[in-house]
Amino acid sequence: MKTLSIVIPCYNEEETVQKFYDETKQWMEKVPADIEYVFVDDGSRDRTLPILKEMAEQDDDVHYISFSRNFGKEAAILAGFQYAKGDAVVLIDADLQHPPSLIPMMWKHFEDGYDQVIAKRNRAGEKFTRRKLTNVYYKLVNRLVEVEITDGVGDFRLLSRQALDALLSLTEYNRFSKGLFSWIGFHEKMIEYENQVRVEGASKWSFASLLNYGMDGILSFNNKPLRIAIYSGIGITMFGFIYILITLVNYFINGVETPGYFTTISAIILLGGIQLLFLGIIGEYIGRIYYETKRRPQYLVKEKN
């Protein structure tokens, strides 16, 4: 019989893991495969780990990996993927926002020969502002990056062993899974589901962390922002030359005017701003290179079974 690994990143999920496990277990009876649960405790500070241990004691199919501190969801995903032994892997959140009821269908598609079965959610029940912001973000990102990133497509998906190995062969430190999933390609199947509100506990995403995540998405997949820097640099320099020329001609025809405070100041501010912006972009890339060259492990394991 084939094996299906279910990878669940958990960060402070004491209120939800048990519920998640109970519900998922029921649905897994419909999957004609051996099931392996890989819970990754991402340095939770609540009772998540003791709960996981208890579950592991009662069910041999439950495995857990616990990090020495919080390394972030991307690291947790990677750890789970590296640990998983199945012929296929399902990545799913612990908060039941990703309905486990979809897994039997995902498995069916996998057996039909698909390498990636992607669950796409609609955004019903989400805050209006967040929905709009996400919308704008996806439009922007898809303009900027080389891989196609679809709105509503999150991490919830099934990967075949082949797709998983491909993903694991990408060794970069700054991981932006949404982009990586899309980059590896393979035979993809999309299924849709209704957006779910979190059952218990709080979302770990603040506005700032969403903004950071969004920035990662743009920066980790291309160097177009650097291009933009070059082009606007050329544009502004040309504009500057024309401006100087006009002023000079004007000077010879009309003589000296009143000292141009306004133009001087605005030029300084504008150029200063643009320079800082692009310095920031360049710095951002250098920072990434710095992290990549350190070759630090993405996570540290404190204990596992």
The four Cα atoms 175, 194, 120, 215 give a dihedral, to 10 degrees, of: -40
Among the listed residues 3, 18, 82, 97, the single contact to Mg ion using CB under 5 A: 97
Q: Considering the rule CB under 5 A, would residue 95 count as an interface residue with Mg ion? A: yes
The answer to whether 300 and 67 are in contact (CB under 8 A) is yes
> Closest approach of Cβ 123 to ligand UDP, in Å?
12
Query: Taking CB within 5 to 8 Å according to partner kind, which of ligand UDP, Mg ion, none is near residue 11?
Result: ligand UDP
Looking at the Cβ atoms of 205 and 207, the one nearer to ligand UDP is: 205
Is the CB of 93 or the CB of 115 nearer to ligand UDP? Answer: 93
Least distance to ligand UDP from the beta carbon of 154, Å?
7
Can you spell out the DSSP letters for 223-260? SHHHHHHHHHHHHHHHHHHHHHHHHHHHHHHH---S--
Shortest Å distance, C-beta 294 to ligand UDP: 21
Closest distance to Mg ion from the beta carbon of 164 (Å): 23
Of positions 63, 73, 109, 121, contacts ligand UDP by CB under 6 A: 73
Taking each helix axis from N to C end, the angle separating 128-144 and 207-219, rounded to the nearest 10 degrees, works out to 10
User: Least distance to ligand UDP from the beta carbon of 86, Å?
Assistant: 19
Write the DSSP symbol of residue 60: T
Size of the site for ligand UDP (CB under 6 A): 17
C-alpha to C-alpha distance for 298 and 266, rounded to whole angstroms: 45
Q: Give yes or no for residue 134 binding ligand UDP (CB under 6 A).
A: no
- Residue 13 binding Mg ion, by CB under 5 A: no
Contact between 10 and ligand UDP by CB under 6 A: the answer reads yes
The answer to whether residue 64 forms part of the interface with ligand UDP (CB under 6 A) is no
Among the listed residues 15, 93, 115, 216, the single contact to ligand UDP using CB under 6 A: 93
Q: How far apart are CA 187 and CA 177, in angstroms?
A: 17
Instruction: Give the shortest CB-152-to-ligand UDP separation in angstroms.
Output: 12
Helix (H) or strand (E) holding 222: none
Answer yes or no whether residue 96 interacts with ligand UDP by CB under 6 A: no
Strand partners, 90: 6, 158
The span of 43-51, 89-97, 159-167, 291-299 binding Mg ion (CB under 5 A) equals 89-97
Nearer to Mg ion, 18 or 97 (CB): 97
When CB distances are held under 5 to 8 angstroms depending on the partner's kind, the choice from Mg ion, ligand UDP, none that residue 157 binds is: none
Q: Which of 138, 135, 97 is nearest to 119 (CA)?
A: 97
Number of residues this chain uses to bind Mg ion (CB under 5 A)? 2
| 3-class DSSP assignment, residue 212 | helix
Distance, in Å, from the CA atom of 136 to the CA atom of 57, rounded to the nearest integer, reads 46
Q: Which does 41 bind (CB under 5 to 8 A by kind): ligand UDP, Mg ion, none?
A: none
- Distance between first and last Cα of the chain: 23
- Report how far residue 42's alpha carbon sits from residue 49's, in angstroms, rounded to the nearest whole number: 9
DSSP string, 94-158: TTSSS-GGGHHHHHHHHHTT-SEEEEEE--TTS-HHHHHHHHHHHHHHHHH-SS---TTEEEEEE
Binding region for ligand UDP (CB under 6 A): 9-11, 13, 42, 70, 72-73, 76, 93-95, 97, 198, 203-205
Residues at the interface with Mg ion (CB under 5 A): 95, 97
